[in-house]
Amino acid sequence: MPSSQPEASSTRRYVLLALKISVSLALLAVLFSRIDVGRLWAGARNASLLWLSAALALYLVNVLASIWRWHLLLRAQHVAIRRRSLLETFLIACFFNNFLPSNIGGDVIRIRDTARPA
């Protein structure tokens, strides 16, 4: 009987992955059914590459500065975490900040991910 435990865990993981993908596809379908895709592409084609590049550069500077600040705060507490892990955690936290009703969700993710290795 114990040999079926890993198989059940693996099956559960695949079912959860399939469910996540299905929900994501359903949400994308709803989103694209409500917008005029032609108008969206026309706006994208007319966008200034200079301004888009400047916005992307400023966003990257903001991300790097935020990660560096988080690194300094953790180092002051004698918590050593790789910067790549901080980047991953920060980007995941940004996602949760955008999609949860409050900004606390992203902070909870950062705390959870930081507390694991510590």
Summarised one tens digit per residue, pLDDT across range 31-88 is 889 989 889 889 889 999 999 999 999 999 999 999 999 999 999 999 888 889 999 9
The confidence band for 110, taking pLDDT boundaries of 50, 70 and 90, is confident
Distances (CA, A) of 22 to 9, 17, 92: 20, 9, 20
Average pLDDT over residues 89-107: 83
Q: Are 93 and 109 in contact (CB under 8 A)?
A: yes
Query: Residue 93: CB partners within 8 Å, gap ≥ 6?
Result: 105, 106, 107, 109, 110
pTM for the full model? Answer: 0.61
The 3-state DSSP composition of the chain as helix, strand, coil percent (nearest 5) reads: 80, 0, 20
d(CA 58, CA 72): 21
| Spatial separation of the C-alpha atoms in residues 95 and 20, rounded to whole Å | 15
pLDDT the model gives residue 81? 87
